[in-house]
Amino acid sequence: MRSLDALFASNRAWARSMTASDPTFFERLAALQAPQYLWIGCSDSRVPANQIVGLVPGELFVQRNVANLAVHTDLNFLSVLQFAVDVLGVRHAIVCGHYGCGGVGAAARGDRLGLIDNWLRHVQDVCEKHATALAAIGDERKRIDRLCELNVIEQAWNVSQTTVVLDAWKRGQDLTVHAWIYDIGDGLLRDLDVSIARPDEAAVRYAAALRALGAKP
């Protein structure tokens, strides 16, 4: 099937509904992009960033990848972060993972999936770092969910240590890094209590968040 007519029909219906509720919505959207939030999330199709926080197009700048990783050598992630911080001037960078993440689960089990195994090696690093805390959890599902939480905290730490964020703080820019997790089972977000707004508080908040989950920095 070459044609995806149903998607085009849905698009037209959506555009009509947006215009009906706000006749100038697309005119304003075309004129300016000024989001206050950067969302660094997972590619999972069940975690639609704008929808779960109730924001319309133009209000959330989004970067997604498998297992919501913030890798210091990933030029895609770094480019999005730099544009969001330096050009758009976002005030919040949110790393959001989710329970039941397939990428995190595959990394925890050591599944071999192909090329993506190299990407998920970053999650395995998190797993190995917190092996003692994870080993204390007998139930596999709960253990993987805890790894999902720990992974989000580690990625938020990574964001806070990028040159982009450190330079922004150095020049006095208002920017806070957050760590959240989403529960697909009930549609609710949970704050993992990593809100870093200055370089001098990064290590303290990072360590406290890990200890709250029974892990060590």
Options 96, 101, 127, 148, the catalytic residue: 101
- Is residue 127 annotated as a catalytic residue, yes or no? no
Options 2, 22, 28, 44, the catalytic residue: 44
What residues contact 58, with CB distance under 8 A and at least 6 apart?
28, 29, 32, 33, 34, 35
Options 98, 130, 146, 205, the catalytic residue: 98
Give the burial class of 41: count Cβ atoms within 10 A of its Cβ; 0-12 exposed, 13-18 middle, 19 or more buried. Answer: buried
- Is residue 44 annotated as a catalytic residue, yes or no? yes
Options 12, 16, 28, 46, the catalytic residue: 46
What residues contact 216, with CB distance under 8 A and at least 6 apart?
130, 132, 133, 210
- Is residue 122 annotated as a catalytic residue, yes or no? no
Options 42, 96, 127, 148, the catalytic residue: 42
- Is residue 148 annotated as a catalytic residue, yes or no? no
- Is residue 117 annotated as a catalytic residue, yes or no? no
Cα angle 11, 15, 21; round to 5: 145
Catalytic residue numbers read: 42, 44, 46, 98, 101
